[in-house]
Chain A
Amino acid sequence: MTNSNPKLDPAAPAKGPIVLGIETSCDETAAAVVDGERNILANVVLSQLDDHAPYGGVVPEVAARAHLAHLPGLVAQALEKSGCDWEDIDAVAATGGPGLIGGVIVGVMMAKGLAAARGLPFLAVNHLEGHALTPRLTDDVAFPYLLLLVSGGHCQLLIVSGPGDYTRLGTTIDDAVGEAFDKSAKLMGLSYPGGPRLEAAAAKGDASRFALPRPMIGRDDCDFSFSGLKTAVRRELEKLENPTEQDIADLSAAFQKSVGDSLVDRTRRAIRLFRQRHPEGQSLVVAGGVAANKYLRARLTALAGENGLDFVAPPIGLCTDNAAMIAWAGLEHFRRGETSGLDFAPRPRWPLDPDAEPKPGAGVKA
């Protein structure tokens, strides 16, 4: 259980609207309370890491069971920590997708029950929009901005023009970047969750020892591809036969550098497009779980600086899945008078830019 947000200050007087948020789309069960003055009044997250570790990855049925077992207690805890009564809450928001549908259903039904009981509006929030709008919660970033959304399920470059208003400039055509981290870590024998462990190994490695491909660099679009990089990691491992700890560290560093080179090249192209369409735009925002990677953050910070853009990345605790971002995204829509019906159907797929062309190799990730 964590409650580590720096802005968390239950003693501060809350300013309306106040929204309760719920997140259950992957392997974190979370509840939070946020107000219209960008105060996070409560933010509780329970990681299911230990439930899934024996299987080496998230098992959907295990996740759904754990969400149901823990969510009622977390909601009660978030409300208590926020210092709010039910009378103070103005709306209830929950992740409505995309994600593991069994978990999404638990959060959506809990939120519908809470909302119906108190006669409150219900808001089904796009999980990706939670990540995308977090910089407005943490840093009050103005629309429009350029967003690099990097997580276990997604890798996209988007122009964010407003709540519900996204233009996709690029996407992965196969694996998501966090997925590439986790799969490569698994190949290297690093334990679950692999992404953060690969980052730790890379910190002790020499990236120049292995020449890994730098996918998509120089291509005339803003798309990403990471499955070839993962295959290259497998080939290097096969050559090593019995890799030492230093071999793994060096290979991790090379992998991370390739990912960084690819992200920087693709994002640089996207900055050019963003500038053409929105000369007034000022910010490059990085969000999603991979934004917690310090090496990649540093590379992207430098890129933003070179291009005269402000670099914004939420604090690490708000990059990984949490409910404060869901409450906030719900609040942004609620302020515009938008709500969801109690007949809302949870959505396993829910693209931010519905007009963007599908990428068959990436499926739901694009």
Chain B
Amino acid sequence: MSVLVIDTSGETCAAALASDIAAGAGARILAAETLPLKRGHAEALMPQIERVLAAAGGIAGAGLEAIAVVAGPGSFTGLRVGLAAAQGLGLALSIPVIGLNAFDIVREMLSGITSAHPLLIALDSRREEPFFQAFDAAGGTLTEPLALPVAAMVARLPAGPLYLAGSAAAAVRAAVPDRNWLEARVAATLDISVAARVACAQLLGGHTLPPQPLYLRAPDVTMPQAAPAAARGQG
């Protein structure tokens, strides 16, 4: 029995195989692979999954009981690569597919923070507004995942010292330098092994998200009179 975990949300393409749901956060990582990749996830992902599963006897031998996929936030196209592949696998294997919130993974990756203060995680969106989620000192959520201008997000947060982490942390610190920011170090890309343990813990606890993309932003569209950029075909 095992759980396959996939991440194509950012500038890596990653897959891991975790031992079993019953072990929860203590699940063993049977195999994992992370490729640095700016584009080309659609080509790289499925052969990578096959390599990772080969460690457990291939897709038939691995005895998959669930698939977890990073549902966002992240690159829109990247999210769809992972979610479509995961749903294809889940549909044909008749096993559940769950979505993982990237902020939950970053939180597990953090080290060296105490539970004395709230935490703001800021992830790079390649746009003006980073992706944010805030958590209270006890680990509960202060906000849902959001895409907001830095000032608007910071205005929503309680007074006092705050841990700040994530790939957009430096940008937030630069935009609002007068806050009492406490440093919380974390790698710029998601750790697929950590993602796998988060997935097993959520599956064990029954607190899972559906495999639906967390875009956090509406599509960039303009109404026809402004810019009819789109083309319509008859077939």
Chain A positions within 8 Å of B, measured between CB atoms, are 26-27, 52, 54-62, 64-65, 68-69, 71-72, 75-76, 86, 102, 105-119, 131, 150-153, 176, 178-179, 181-182, 186, 192-196, 288-292, 319-321, 341-346
Contacts and interface: CB of A to CB of B under 8 A. Distances in A.
Contacts of B83: 68
Contact of A102 (B49, B59, B77): B77
Contacts of B81: 105, 109
Interface of B: 40, 42-47, 49-50, 59-60, 76-77, 80-93, 212-213, 215, 219-224, 228-235
A86 B80 contact: no
A52 B90 CA distance: 29
| Interface of A, helix, strand, loop or mixed by DSSP | helix
Contact of A61 (B76, B92, B93): B76
Contacts of B59: 116-117, 119
| Interface of B, helix, strand, loop or mixed by DSSP | helix
B233 A118 contact: no
Contact of B231 (A76, A152, A196, A346): A152
A163 to B, nearest CB: 20
Nearest 9 A-B pairs (CB), nearest first?
A152-B233, A289-B235, A113-B88, A57-B230, A178-B234, A289-B234, A117-B92, A56-B224, A109-B84
Contact of A111 (B47, B88, B219, B232): B88
A328 B60 CA distance: 28
A109 B231 contact: no
Contact of A113 (B85, B229, B233): B85
B221 A131 contact: no
Given A57-B232, A119-B59, A68 B213 contact: yes
Contact of A26 (B87, B89, B91, B233): B233
B42 A321 contact: no
B209 to A, nearest CB: 15
A341 to B, nearest CB: 8
Contacts of A52: 230, 232
Contact of A131 (B60, B87, B235): B235
A17 to B, nearest CB: 17
7 contacts: A55-B230, A57-B232, A61-B221, A76-B91, A86-B92, A153-B235, A182-B233
